[in-house]
Amino acid sequence: NAGVTQTPKFRILKIGQSMTLQCAQDMNHNYMYWYRQDPGMGLKLIYYSVGAGITDKGEVPNGYNVSRSTTEDFPLRLELAAPSQTSVYFCASSRQGYYEQYFGPGTRLTVT
Amino acid sequence: AQSVTQLDSHVSVSEGTPVLLRCNYSSSYSPSLFWYVQHPNKGLQLLLKYTSAATLVKGINGFEAEFKKSETSFHLTKPSAHMSDAAEYFCVVTLYSGAGSYQLTFGKGTKLSVIP
């Protein structure tokens, strides 16, 4: 099993550009999550999904969009990138909401 | 509202001495509790979990944690620190928030330094 994979590993965006962060898992997990991690702030939940076709907002959803068309994939879309979106983004999955989460290696995004 | 407090942002220990990373939570319900470790420039890895079974939980790499409901604590310990334990550690609380939904809250992290 590859577990949770994320692409790209690094990306530099100009202000106003858009991009999609890819996330895939091969564990047949129902739940998937997107977090951002800023220094000294722990992880903040952006969006999550409880199954294909179902998504919901987390703590910091503004400026982001998600979709979940399959069990395996959960892409995160950034529209009109802003410097405040400079962060490390982690995707995670779990079998159910109260189970442990498995994390991908992260995407380091810089917006200048 | 639930919350997680990691009482120390930075802990420094000498190699071979005990490690104690402190975590307190507030919750009206029985939580699931986790500790994760993050090595530099890496993703988060599960160390151990408490899900209402034994209150003393053993994890990987010699770590363990004890759930104390009366103190609302879930402190992480290890008898003897190793250089490879230097990393950031996160305490996480998961609560059922109704309608099939769960709320996950991360602590802000404790950075562990190990001095040779």
Per-residue model confidence as pLDDT tens digits over B9-43 = 999 999 999 999 999 998 777 788 999 999 988 88
Give chain B's length.
116
Convert the pLDDT of each residue in A31-60 to its tens digit.
999 999 998 778 999 999 999 999 999 989
Q: Where residue B3 falls among pLDDT bands split at 50, 70, 90? A: confident
Per-residue model confidence (pLDDT) at position B1: 67
**At which residue do the structure tokens 């928030």 appear?**
B97
Q: Determine the distance in angstroms separating the CA of A81 from the nearest CA of chain B, rounded to an integer.
A: 23
Contact B100 A50 (CB under 8 A): yes
Q: Where residue B100 falls among pLDDT bands split at 50, 70, 90? A: low
Instruction: Evaluate whether A51 touches A68 at the Cβ level (below 8 Å).
Output: yes
Tokens describing residue A101: 């989460």
Nearest to B107 among A42, A50, A97 (CB): A42
Instruction: Evaluate whether A81 touches A13 at the Cβ level (below 8 Å).
Output: yes
Distance CA A26, CA A71 (A): 9
| Average pLDDT by stretches of 10, chain A with 112 residues | 93 96 96 91 90 92 96 96 96 88 95 96
Contact A97 B51 (CB under 8 A): no
Instruction: Evaluate whether A111 touches A83 at the Cβ level (below 8 Å).
Output: yes
Per-residue model confidence (pLDDT) at position B26: 87
Mutation to test the A interface, candidates B8, B47, B104, most A Cβ within 10 Å: B104
Q: Which B-chain residues 5-34 have CB contacts (< 8 A) with chain A?
A: 9, 32, 34
Contact B44 A90 (CB under 8 A): yes
Instruction: Evaluate whether B89 touches B21 at the Cβ level (below 8 Å).
Output: yes
